[in-house]
Structure formats: C-alpha cells, structure tokens
Amino acid sequence: MLTRKQYELLVFITDTLNTKGVSPSFEEMKEALGLRSKSGIHRLITGLEERGFIRHLPHRARALEVLRLAENMAAQGKTLPGKGLRDAQSEFSPSIIKGDFKRPPAAVAHPAAEAVELPLYGQIAAGLPIEAVSDNTNTVDVPASLLGSGEHYALYVDGDSMIDAGINDGDTVVLERCNTAENGTIVVALVEDTEVTLKRLRKRGDSIALEPANQSYETRIFGPDQVQVQGKLVGLIRKY
C-alpha cells in the first residue's frame, strides 16, 4: 500500500533505471515530484524501503534497486529494470479516503447485543503516514458504551508509533468525526491533502505538531493550513 507520492517516486525510479541504467539523484527526484526539499524524498525512499519495493545497494553511491512494482504499473507497461513484462504485477487502483469524508452509513444499533455497527474504512498509519484505503462495504461491531453523540467510524492501525499510548499494530481504533480537537488529543489527521495518520495533536502558536508515542519516531511540525483533523480517538478494539 503506497501513498500517491510514494507511487510516483517508484514509477520515476523504475523509468530512470530502465532508460538510463542508473538510479536518479535526490535532486532529480525532488524536481520530478515537485517537492521543496530533499528531506521529503528521503522520507518517501524510507517508506518504499520499509514496504519492500526498493533497497539501497551497498558500497555504491546513488544506487537503488527496485525489488517489486506497485500493482497497476504493469497495466501501464512498466517492468522491473532488466526484466520482462511478466515480472510486473497486476493493476493498482486503490480507493483513497479523501480529506472530505463522505457521510458514512448511519450507525446501526443491535440492542440485544448492546453493540453498534460502524463503517470500517480501512487502514490508518500509526508510523510513517500512508493513505487509508477505503472500503465502505466493511463494518465492525463496537460496544455502545464507547460511543457518545455524533458520528463515528473505525480504522485498522498499521504501525507502532503510538505503542506507548497503548495502540498496537493491528488494533482497530474507534473515532468520533470532528474537525477540531484539544491539545493532547489523539486524532486522525490529513497531512497536506495526501497523507492520513494517527498521532497526538499539539498546537504551539501558529504551528501544529503531530506527536508519536514511541521514541523511535520524530514529532512532525506543520503550518496551520497543512493539517486537517478528521476525527478523535474514543475507543480501541484488540483481538488476541
């Protein structure tokens, strides 16, 4: 599962390797994706490496190897560098949760079971931000006691950056839909209209910090127009 920018970078690296035989420089990648800094490219490459799409070749400067393709690259005629089309994978066409969530199906209560059926949209990153894949056909039953007034939805957690807040990889989080939240609240945030992540919200003057609960991850700072709150955490479901 890739963000749009990760996908664009993977396509650019693959095309450059196929045409030039050498991976592009950070400057070339930055210009191709229209990013302002090389640090953004570094984050994208790290995300591609962690997901097993590329790797750095040891003892070689500016050397990347593409290990596998995203799903719809084959439909575009893309191939792994040095390999034929049959090595490419099938179509990649994720349905993305946009910043303006469509109103979900109304929550359905089950009085006998004292449970409420919520729409389960897909996966949310609690590590490096990734886009949540929407599947409006899925639902999950949650205890009615978890819910207050307002609209609610659920997401799977992918990653461990909120582990010190008791949120583990594979958990299901229950969220109340909102567009504002108090300092210290764990929220679903849309970052720069492209990435969705689960983090603790901190407002510092005109800046917004998205704070992990794991010392292995860094707090990210954004301007007020770069982050949109899409929900706040109200509950968690874990299967053993």
Residues 224, 35: Cα–Cα separation, whole Å: 19
Distance CA 153, CA 175 (A): 6
CA distance 143 to 109: 10
Is 23 catalytic? The answer is no
Backbone angles phi, psi at 210, to 5 degrees: -105, 110
| Chain centre distance of CA 166 | 19
Strand partners, 143: 115
Examine the residue annotation and report whether 20 is marked as an active-site residue of this protein.
Answer: no
d(CA 77, CA 60): 29
Find how far residue 179's CA is from the centre of its chain. 19
**Which structure tokens are listed for 36?**
């302002």
Tokens of 44: 């994208």
Q: In angstroms, rounded to a whole number, what is the distance separating the alpha carbons of residues 124 and 195?
A: 10
Q: Which of 161, 207, 232, 239 is catalytic?
A: 161
Q: Point out the catalytic residue in the list 5, 23, 134, 199.
A: 199
Q: Could you tell me if 155 and 172 are in contact, meaning their C-beta atoms sit under 8 angstroms apart? A: yes
Instruction: Find out whether 11 and 73 touch, Cβ atoms under 8 Å.
Output: yes
Catalytic center residues: 161, 199
